[in-house]
A and B are shown apart, each in its own frame.
Chain A
């Protein structure tokens, strides 16, 4: 087990230079959640255009894994339909549970988070933003 598996360069890049980390004027939905175990906090704002995620941003504070995952999420779901974004969230959670081997093309940067699987305590950090997204899209996890 190597720390390099966890802190890959692309993760550190998203952490240090988060994408779409800002409020979203005109957002149609905003949801917030924190992880009571560690205090990590993420808000996801989305502007839905009919069934499409026209724009998605996040705000929050927390560890590199939670913040990088949220940053990647905004890029990965931009322009997708609600159904597609929800499917991606489910697939991402599957990757974290070790049950889904991700399609690298569809996952893009998100593949870098695969190393988190080896650090069970940190999986909840990686999944936090996706939980919030699904709640914002009206498709809460577990449904």
Chain B
């Protein structure tokens, strides 16, 4: 198998870092192919969270005692680590949130409701996850802004001409996924950012999937906002955040009001802290963000280019094997244009039934609309089966998937 010999990283060794991968499911060795839903966590991340609670737990930005200062240092250190991972110009351009959904809602509230006006356009695409649609619908309802969707090609790609044709004189924001959670498609963000800026619009990249599997440099991409989902990049659930261009964060409204985000509170008005603290009300997800920083260190040691190359090899292998087995794979089959989320149909077996039979073989895949109903309608299916990868995924996982398809054929054939 060429995929193994040319391996960009040693997935077999990496697997040893993930305690959960040695368990069984339905009496069979666990084959975890649902990393696009949430990734598994290396021991180091689990330990970072445990260690924080065992040794350093205190609230941040408050205690004058040593422990409080230590917790604050760890928390702000995590910010610097994650911001650095994204190529952000300064740590303070990274706002902590519970993940990508909260980050997009933050921008829709604090930037959208502040600056969008009646008749302005927010440009989305047919690839978007509900988390990059619904916040804009709510924002549009309140501001009178209108939503448009860039159509995808039959191959599930975003064509730059189609993007260009979608701009109106009133386009104020392009909100686009960096990598589709359904098709793995990666739109050309750098080019789209340039088009957005030429049109006088801002660009937000939903990088829930993208940042988990590819090198990211927000300066090179020249994006205004970029959202991160920590739990999809080996970090704890409820970790992640938002990169925002510093001058934009500066002029935005706060998001949630409460303790820690204020300077002074008077009976009817308050003044707010500087970004990013202006957006961080209440006690934050301290242990989770420290855990995410440990995940980022882990990924950095492996190298994000190696992560991307590994998934490219695996995606190419999976496309080949699934197609040969008779599955219909949605989206482009060119592994250079897509990441490791593969949606497919097998025979006429409904994805739920397929996932059930595979689950019985120890193979965990996702079945459903993947929070992308607009894309499902465009693809003409109610749901798909989806296999997705991360650093610990191997060609053997793909083999187990294909064997599972055979078992499903026997039940439903």
Contacts and interface: CB of A to CB of B under 8 A. Distances in A.
Interface of A: 1, 3, 6-7, 12, 37-41, 61-65, 119, 122, 125
A40 B26 CA distance: 25
Nearest to A41: B382
B357 A62 contact: no
13 contacts: A3-B356, A7-B412, A38-B382, A39-B382, A41-B382, A62-B350, A62-B382, A63-B352, A63-B353, A64-B350, A64-B353, A65-B352, A122-B352
Given A7-B412, A63-B351, 10 more contacts: A1-B26, A3-B411, A6-B356, A12-B411, A38-B369, A38-B382, A39-B373, A40-B382, A63-B350, A65-B353
Interface in B295-352: 350-352
B360 A3 contact: yes
B114 to A, nearest CB: 32
Contacts of B356: 3, 6, 119, 122
B184 to A, nearest CB: 20
Contact of A61 (B353, B382, B411): B382
A100 B382 CA distance: 33
Given A39-B368, A40-B382, A7 B411 contact: yes
Nearest to A119: B356
A24 B367 CA distance: 31
A59 to B, nearest CB: 14
B376 interface: yes
A65 B26 CA distance: 20
Contact of A38 (B352, B357, B411): B352
A63 B383 CA distance: 10
A37 B360 CA distance: 21
Contacts of A64: 350, 353, 412
A122 B357 CA distance: 13
B411 A39 contact: no
A143 to B, nearest CB: 29
Contacts of A41: 382
Which of A3, A39, A62, A119: most chain B CB closer than 10 A? A39
Contact of B412 (A12, A38, A40, A125): A12
Nearest to A125: B352
Contacts of B352: 38, 40, 62-63, 65, 122, 125
